[in-house]
Structure 1
């Protein structure tokens, strides 16, 4: 992604409010965006400032003096995040699992909590009124979020003809593949809010799973759609990691190949 700075990151601050109830920057080796209908605007409850997902990311920004060691490849085996979560959304829930590759310094329960928070956010895919999710650790699943080393991501995505180049994420079949490098370092635009970028990864790749294709920037200064390949550059759009805005309006742009 181009080095564009972090101006406008206020647009993506982590003010999550849960609701009860494919390569490159992602895609089929990127991030989602087919013709989706815009949900009608509706009043939304204020965010809960006491929620851990309601404040800016506690994640430390990578710096030249304190960069995590990121293995280039791993064993290709995974640890399943234990337990399950509540259903979010109003429709029949898609069951998903969270797996973390063995041998990397990530807590599977912590990763699962972050994924749950993203999918439960009122600005996420449940705002379409049709999508619902529930995390499980056993039994049948509709999709699996897998955080893995670049080598493992490349291997799994490559089995479906996608070239992730050791750098990006993808959605192939039931697999939402998250590149460990992107999970830990984000991209230059989001380097000061890595946790926000994690939300973009999940929303983009799950968006692909839901059938959304890539879109472009709708105009200078406008929020970048989740289904835009932001890792390739912002094209004048302001940083944004959510599919919907606070008023429940779908954020999209012109379709791109």
Structure 2
């Protein structure tokens, strides 16, 4: 994780390059250099994210996918929509996929809907509700895009994502395609959970939540912790709340 507005995830024993933490809009960051052709799990396989740790088994189905360094910067919006989930102020959002990517907009939208509707997500605060739409006014958009396009959009908000990270800037939750497909080492065997961490961290910034630190050895890492900088004794977790509705947090991070 990294920039305020970039998705943050950590990898145990993995030392990422220095990151810039900008507190402007909201966000955190993510890591790993774009590779033109990499092996990943079948993109059509989108199991429900696990409870938060990275202990899932990789899918037996694998395929070669191309991750372009950059794209046209135009997007296709997922059609249809969802019902309202949560109570409180309803935030309407779109799901956009950059033009030309080998991703199903319907599959991406379904996965985003599941993550934002999970009872361990931000709806547990009792103040946030989400509804996916495909037209009309929106409060924010989740955009899956190539590293170059993510860099360009995040840079417009003053965030440096280095071709590696996700970010939340203005009304855009930007998801780096490589992070979406490959996660990071600590979540490499449970990519769906990592996707939940991307969204929960970045949407958390959109809702006004800042970075926090590990609350203690052996405790779940908060979703708003910059896990990419190291777990610092915490165990992997991707959800803002636990199954009993308690906020998973820690001391404020600088």
TM-score interval, normalised by the smaller of the two chains: 0.7 to 0.9
- 1:94 maps to 2:78: no
Q: Secondary structure at the match of 2:86?
A: coil
Q: Secondary structure at the match of 1:132?
A: strand
Structure 1, residues 111-139: CA drift from partner, whole Å, max 9, x if none? 00000000000000000000000000000
Instruction: State how far apart, in whole Å, the 1-side matches of 2:213 and 2:239 are.
Output: 15
CA contact (8 A) 1:88 1:120 kept: yes
- 1:118 maps to 2:89: no
TM-score (norm 2): 0.79
Equivalent residue number for residue 194 of structure 2: 197
For residue 53 of structure 1, the aligned residue among 42, 48, 59 is 48
TM-score (norm 1): 0.79
Q: Which has the higher strand share?
A: 2
- 1:246 maps to 2:243: yes
- 1:207 maps to 2:204: yes
Equivalent residue number for residue 125 of structure 2: 128
Describe how 1:1-257 pairs up with structure 2 within 5 A: 1-4=10-13, 28-30=26-28, 53=48, 60=59, 67-257=64-254
**In angstroms, what is the RMSD of aligned CA positions?**
2.4
Unaligned ranges ≥5, structure 1: 6-21, 32-51
Equivalent residue number for residue 43 of structure 1: none
Instruction: State how far apart, in whole Å, the 2-side matches of 1:168 and 1:23 are.
Output: 12
Instruction: State how far apart, in whole Å, the 1-side matches of 2:171 and 2:210 are.
Output: 16
Distance 1:140 1:23, change over 3 A: farther
The structural deviation recorded for 1:91 is 1.4
The structural deviation recorded for 1:53 is 2.5
